[in-house]
Structure 1
Amino acid sequence: MAKSDLIVGLDVGTTKICTVVGEASESGVDIIGIGTAPSTGLRRGVVVNIEKTVQCIRKSLEEAELMAGCDIRTVYAGIAGSHIQGFNSHGVIGVKGGEVTQRDVDRVIEAARAIAIPMDREVLHTLPQEFIVDDQRGISDPLGMAGVRLEVKVHIVTGAVTSAQNIIRSCKRADLNVSNVVLESLASSKAVLSPEEREIGVALVDIGGGTTDIAVFSKDSIKHTSVLALGGHNLTNDIAYGLRTPMQSAEDIKIKYGCALADLITDEEILEVPSVGGRESRAMSKRVLAEICEPRCEEILALVDQELIKSGFKNMIAAGVVLTGGTCLIDGMQELAEQIFDLPVRIGVPGDGLGGLREEVMSPKYATAVGLLLHGADEEGVRGRVTIEEESSFDKILGRMKKWFTDIA
Structure 2
Amino acid sequence: MAQPGDRPAIAALDIGSSKVSAIIARPDDEGRLTVLGTGQRESRGVKRGYITDMAASEHAVREAVELAERMAGQTVDEVWASYGAGGLVSDVANVEAELGGHPVEQADIDQLMSAGKDAIDKNGQVVLHAHPALYTIDRAQGVQQPIGLHANRLGVDIHVIAAEPSPLRNVDTVIRQAHLGVRAIVASPVAAALACLSDEERELGVALVELGAEVTNVSVHYGGMLVGLRSIPLGARDITNDIAAAFAVQRRDAERLKCFYGSAMTSPRDNHEIIEATQIGAEPGAEPMKMTRAQLMMVIRQRVEELTNEIEAALKGLGFTGPVGRQVALTGGGAELKNIADYMQGVLGRSVRVGRPKQIPGLPDAHSGPAFSTLVGLALLAASGRGDIRDIAGPVIRSPQPKGMIGRLIHAMKGDF
What is the TM-score when the length of structure 2 is the normalising length? 0.87
> SS at the partner of 1:266?
helix
State whether residues 113 and 126 of structure 1, in contact with CA within 8 Å, keep that contact through their aligned partners in structure 2.
Answer: no
Decide whether aligned partners of structure 1 residues 265 and 33 sit closer, same or farther in structure 2, where only a CA change above 3 A counts.
farther
> SS at the partner of 1:105?
helix
Determine what percentage of the aligned residue pairs are the same residue.
Answer: 27
Aligned-partner Cα distance in 2 for 1:8–1:53: 18
**1:70 aligned residue:** 74
Matched, 1:300 2:307: yes
Aligned-partner Cα distance in 2 for 1:264–1:34: 42
**2:397 aligned residue:** 398
**2:407 aligned residue:** none
**1:368 aligned residue:** 374
Aligned-partner Cα distance in 1 for 2:380–2:268: 37
> Structure 2 counterpart of 1:38, which letter?
E
Aligned-partner Cα distance in 2 for 1:5–1:139: 35
> Structure 2 counterpart of 1:21, which letter?
I
State whether residues 171 and 177 of structure 1, in contact with CA within 8 Å, keep that contact through their aligned partners in structure 2.
Answer: yes
Matched, 1:344 2:351: yes
Matched, 1:88 2:92: yes
State whether residues 91 and 152 of structure 1, in contact with CA within 8 Å, keep that contact through their aligned partners in structure 2.
Answer: yes
State whether residues 81 and 228 of structure 1, in contact with CA within 8 Å, keep that contact through their aligned partners in structure 2.
Answer: no
* Alignment RMSD (CA, Å): 2.5
**1:309 aligned residue:** 316
Matched, 1:11 2:6: no
Matched, 1:24 2:27: yes
Aligned-partner Cα distance in 1 for 2:79–2:19: 17
Aligned-partner Cα distance in 2 for 1:196–1:398: 38
Structure 2: 5+ residue runs without aligned partners? Answer: 400-414
Decide whether aligned partners of structure 1 residues 6 and 264 sit closer, same or farther in structure 2, where only a CA change above 3 A counts.
farther
Decide whether aligned partners of structure 1 residues 111 and 252 sit closer, same or farther in structure 2, where only a CA change above 3 A counts.
farther
Structure 2 residue aligned with 1:202, among 206, 212, 235? 206
Matched, 1:212 2:216: yes
Matched, 1:288 2:295: yes
- How many residues get paired? 392
Decide whether aligned partners of structure 1 residues 20 and 231 sit closer, same or farther in structure 2, where only a CA change above 3 A counts.
same
Aligned-partner Cα distance in 2 for 1:151–1:7: 36
Decide whether aligned partners of structure 1 residues 334 and 323 sit closer, same or farther in structure 2, where only a CA change above 3 A counts.
same
**1:117 aligned residue:** 122
State whether residues 105 and 147 of structure 2, in contact with CA within 8 Å, keep that contact through their aligned partners in structure 1.
Answer: yes
Pick which of 130-139 and 3-12 moved more. Answer: 3-12
CA offsets per residue over residues 19-43 of structure 1, 9 Å max, x none? 1111113472112211111101111
Query: Cα distance, 1:315 vs. partner?
Result: 2.2
Structure 1: 5+ residue runs without aligned partners? Answer: 401-406
Decide whether aligned partners of structure 1 residues 137 and 363 sit closer, same or farther in structure 2, where only a CA change above 3 A counts.
same
Query: Cα distance, 1:298 vs. partner?
Result: 1.5
CA offsets per residue over residues 96-155 of structure 1, 9 Å max, x none? 993334443343234334333223x21211243321012210112323333242211233
Decide whether aligned partners of structure 1 residues 335 and 169 sit closer, same or farther in structure 2, where only a CA change above 3 A counts.
same
**2:327 aligned residue:** 320
Aligned-partner Cα distance in 1 for 2:279–2:233: 29
Aligned-partner Cα distance in 1 for 2:393–2:214: 24
Aligned-partner Cα distance in 2 for 1:178–1:103: 32
> Structure 1 counterpart of 2:383, which letter?
A
